[in-house]
Amino acid sequence: MCPMQMNREDFPILGREVYGRPLVYLDNAATTQKPRCVVEAISEEYYNVNANVHRGVHFLSQQATELHEASRETVRSFINARSTSEIIFTRGTTESINLLAFSFGEAFCHEGDEIIVTEMEHHSNIVPWQMLCQRRGMKLRVVPMLDDYTLDLATYRSLLNERTRLVCVTHVSNVLGTVNPVREIIAEAHAHDIPVLVDGAQSAPHIAVDVQQLDCDFFAFSGHKIYGPTGVGVLYGRERLLDQLPPYQGGGEMIRNVSFERTTYNDLPYRFEAGTPDYVGTHALAVALDYVTALGMDHIHAYESQLASYAYEQLSQIENLVIYGGGNSSLSGGMAGSAISFNIRGIHHLDLGTLLDRLGIAVRTGHHCAEPLMRRLGIEGTVRASFALYNTRDEVDALVAGIQRVVRMF
Ligand code: PMP
C-alpha cells in the first residue's frame, strides 16, 4: 500500500457513507477534509487554553498568545519567508487578496496605472483588482490563455510597461490543474521593477512552496484547502513592501496609540490584523502544516501527481469525454495533482455531477469561480475531480466506473 493511503485513517470522515455508499471525496480543490489532529487541536484549545491573545497578563492569555505566535513561525517556516513580520493572518486567500488590493492600491496606485491578471484566475484574484481599478481610474490588463491551456507569455511580456503596478497570477489553476511558470513570470516583472502576487490557494496544498526561491512579493493561501480549519488564511508579503502599505482595517491590535487627534499604527504584521484574530484557527492551521510537513510535501506532490496522471489516462479513455487541461504533458508545465476538469459531450455537467453524487462520488460542477476562463473555453461549466493526499487509485476507478454508468443511462 502506498504510504499516503495509510493516512486515510487520520481522516475519520472518509469512512462515512452517503446514500448507503462509501464516500469518494474528490472535491479537494474546494476544501480538504481534516485530520484528527487538527480537529482535536481545536477542541483541545477551546477546552483547555481559550483566552484572548496579546497583552493579557494572565496565564491563559499568555499560553494562547504563545500558540498563536508559534503558529506564525510554523507558517513562516512552511513557505520559507525571511521573518514572521512577513506573515499576516487573514480569513483566507480571498481576504488576503482584498487586503492587498486595498492597501497596495492606497500606497502605489494612481489614475492611468495598470494591474495585470490572467485569463485563468479565480474570481478572488480578479474582482478585488477590478474594484481597485474602478476606485482609482486604472486599467485591468489580462494575459490570455493559449489553446494548450498555458499562459501566453509573449503577450504577458508585451503588457509589462511603466504603468504596470502589480502582476497577479495563480500558481496553479483551480480549474485546469495547469502549473504556471511563476518563477519566470516573476523574473520578467522584476526586470521592470514590478512586484508580483502569487495566488497559492491551489499550490500550497500540493507543492513545496519557497517564497524566497520563487522571489514573489506577495503570496496568498487558505488554511481550509491544506487540511486546516475554515476561516484562516495567510498573506505573505515582502517586508520592504509591507512596510510601505497603510493598514487595511482599523480597530484593536493594529494600533500603537490612539487619540481623537491622531492614531499611530502597530508594527508588522499586527498593523494588518485588526481585531481579535482566529487564534484557535491559526493554531489548528499550524497543526495541519506540521502534519503535511511530517509526511513531506515532496512525497505528497509525487503521490498526487501519479494519482492525477492515472486519473487523466483513465478518463481520457472514456468516449466523448473532453478534458480541459494538458494533464502531465511538458506543455502544461506538468500537473500539480490538484484538479482535472472535464465534460461529456451531450450530458450537462450538473446532471453528471448530480448522478455521480448519488453513487457516493463528490465532485464539483459549474464555473468554479472562473467565469472568464469558462468564456475562453466556450463552455458554461465543467465537472471537476480534485485530489488530495488521501485519495486512492480505487477511488479514481470508482469515478471512472461511475461516469461510465451515467453515460449508459443517457
Ligand atoms: N484562488 C484560487 C485559485 C482558489 O482555488 C480559491 C478557492 N477555490 C480561492 C482563490 C479563494 O479561496 P478562499 O475561498 O479560501 O478564500
DSSP 8-class letter at 82: S
Output the CA 176–ligand 1 centroid distance in Å: 14
Q: Which of 202, 206, 338, 382 to mutate for ligand 1's pocket (most ligand atoms within 8 Å of CB)? A: 202
Question: Rounded CA gap, 337 and 345, in Å?
Answer: 24
Tell me what pLDDT residue 315 has. Answer: 97
> Rounded to the nearest 5 degrees, what angle is found at the Cα of 210, between the Cα atoms of 182 and 221?
75
Mean pLDDT of the region 327-338: 52
Tell me what pLDDT residue 56 has. Answer: 87
Which of 337, 333, 246, 344 is closest to 300 using CA atoms?
337
Which of 296, 395, 283, 410 is closest to 346 using CA atoms?
410
Residues 6+ apart with CB under 8 A from 223: 92, 229, 230, 231, 232, 233, 234, 281, 284, 285, 288
Return the amino acid letter for 361. Answer: I
Question: Rounded CA gap, 409 and 135, in Å?
Answer: 51
Q: Is the CB of 90 under 6 A from ligand 1?
A: no
CB 399 within 8 A of CB 385: yes
Q: Which of 32, 90, 93 to mutate for ligand 1's pocket (most ligand atoms within 8 Å of CB)? A: 93
CB 302 within 8 A of CB 14: no
Tell me what pLDDT residue 331 has. Answer: 39
Chain centre distance of CA 338: 11
Average pLDDT of every residue of the chain: 95
**How many secondary structure helices (H) and strands (E) does the chain include?**
13, 17
Burial (Cβ within 10 Å: 0-12, 13-18, ≥19) of residue 406: buried
Tell me what pLDDT residue 333 has. Answer: 45
Tell me what pLDDT residue 3 has. Answer: 54
> pLDDT digit string (tens) for 79-113?
999 999 999 999 999 999 999 999 999 999 999 99
Mean pLDDT of the region 318-346: 77
109, 168, 216, 369: the active-site residue:
369
> pLDDT digit string (tens) for 348-406?
999 999 999 999 999 999 999 999 999 999 999 999 999 999 999 999 999 999 999 99
Q: Which of 95, 97, 124, 387 to mutate for ligand 1's pocket (most ligand atoms within 8 Å of CB)? A: 124
Output the CA 92–ligand 1 centroid distance in Å: 8
Q: Identify the residue whose cell numbers are 499562459.
A: 151
Question: Rounded CA gap, 21 and 357, in Å?
Answer: 10
Is 369 an active-site residue?
yes
Question: Rounded CA gap, 256 and 391, in Å?
Answer: 48
Confidence band for 338, pLDDT divided at 50, 70 and 90: confident
Mean pLDDT of the region 227-251: 98
Q: What percent of the chain has pLDDT over 70?
A: 96
Q: Is residue 123 scored above 80 in pLDDT?
A: yes
Q: Is residue 276 scored above 80 in pLDDT?
A: yes
DSSP 8-class letter at 8: G
Q: Is the CB of 391 under 6 A from ligand 1?
A: no
46 CB neighbour count, 10 Å cutoff = 10
> Could you give the dihedral angle defined by the CA atoms of residues 24, 396, 150 and 138, in that order, rounded to the nearest 10 degrees?
0
> pLDDT digit string (tens) for 278-293?
999 999 999 999 999 9
Output the CA 386–ligand 1 centroid distance in Å: 14
Q: Is the CB of 205 under 6 A from ligand 1?
A: no
Q: What is the DSSP string of 186-224?
A: HHHHHHTT--EEEE-TTTTTTS---HHHHT-SEEEEEGG
Question: Rounded CA gap, 52 and 175, in Å?
Answer: 39
Confidence band for 329, pLDDT divided at 50, 70 and 90: very low
| Pure H helices in 193-326 | 211-214, 239-242, 279-295, 297-316
